[in-house]
Amino acid sequence: MNGSFIKRITRNKAFSLAIIMFAVWIIFFLLNHNYFVGENFTGIMNTSSLSGTIAIGLACLMMSGSIDLSAGAEGCFGGVLVALFLRTGMNWILALLLTILCGVVMGLINAFWVNAMKLMPFISTIAMSSIYQAMAVIVTKSSEIAIGEGPFTRLGTGHIGIFPLPFIIMVILMVIYGLMLNYTKFGRRLILCGGNRTAARLAGINHQKITTIMFANCGAISALAGAILAARMNNGGPRAVLGAEMDAMTAAIIGGVSFLGGGTSGMGTIFVALLLVNSFNNGLQVIKVNSFWQFVTRGGLLILALIVDYFRESRRQKALKQGAKV
């Protein structure tokens, strides 16, 4: 009983990730004692909230068996759009809702290529990423669009206790989507689609409908994440959000969502993975690694996650083949 409890804990992915995260903290703390200062921790929470929010939509989409590499560009365009809407003097709630709606449209365009035109999601969403990013540059004429202080910017800069508002919004969304994945029929069907498309089809589940919804959802959440970043930065810029989708994907994969389909994960694990990724990135900044090198290490981390994913998948396949004993 006791033994199996310890086993269960150590086999728990969130737990082992948390251990790794503590190790990362300790290493960076030893390298630079400023690492643990509260302000820095707030920084981690702030940056996590961007990639973390994007990770929610992306992870759900990946679990349903597809992928959206344009999530970052969608976020960027979202940030620009909200700034443009606000500049017209529009009510901020309306502006935010319109931005999210634009995110839905961007997601639906991605879904159209993948589901109706049968293009590969990897390729078509990269292409769309380039387009969305370029649109953001075009509509802003390559400059940043300022947002005046107001209730909207407080969405990005406000705090409750020590927690920044964007972080709280992300956590709330994670809880909601976590519940959706685990406690609703839709959530389970979504995961079933990702796990075995044929089985889902034979059981009468429409895979295209589900991925279309998840593409739209990913677009909407990414646009929201971009808008919140704009609120935090007091402007919407065509170069914001850069690379956040990569961190989001790294977190999702480390958290157990498989790139190769079939892997699933709880939002809790993704949350821990996200903090891990962002602690790592933040640590690199604190020890003053050149920002170009930071991109190298971030890319390296993603590669590492993919390798781990590959081995996890092949072990799973092997267990399957041998029919691990009952």
Q: Which residues bind another protein (CB under 8 A)?
A: 180, 183-186, 188-189, 191-192, 195-196, 198-206, 209-210, 213, 262-264, 316-317, 319-326
Identify which of residues 10 and 317 has a Cβ nearer to another protein in the complex. 317
CA angle 37, 43, 48 (to 5 degrees): 130
Measured in residues, the chain has a length of 326
Query: Cα(197)–Cα(158) distance, rounded to whole angstroms?
Result: 43
Side chain identity at 36, as an amino acid letter?
F
Minimum gap (Å) between residue 180 Cβ and another protein: 6
Minimum gap (Å) between residue 30 Cβ and another protein: 38
Given its phi and psi angles, is residue 145 left (phi above 0), alpha (psi -120 to 50 degrees) or beta?
Answer: beta
Tokens representing 71? Answer: 């999530």
Q: What sign has the CA pseudo-torsion 21, 27, 33, 34?
A: negative
Identify which of residues 143 and 317 has a Cβ nearer to another protein in the complex. 317
Minimum gap (Å) between residue 87 Cβ and another protein: 33
CB 155 within 8 A of CB 231: yes
Tokens representing 264? Answer: 């699933």
Minimum gap (Å) between residue 262 Cβ and another protein: 5
Tokens representing 244? Answer: 């956040």
Minimum gap (Å) between residue 210 Cβ and another protein: 6
Query: Cα(51)–Cα(234) distance, rounded to whole angstroms?
Result: 18
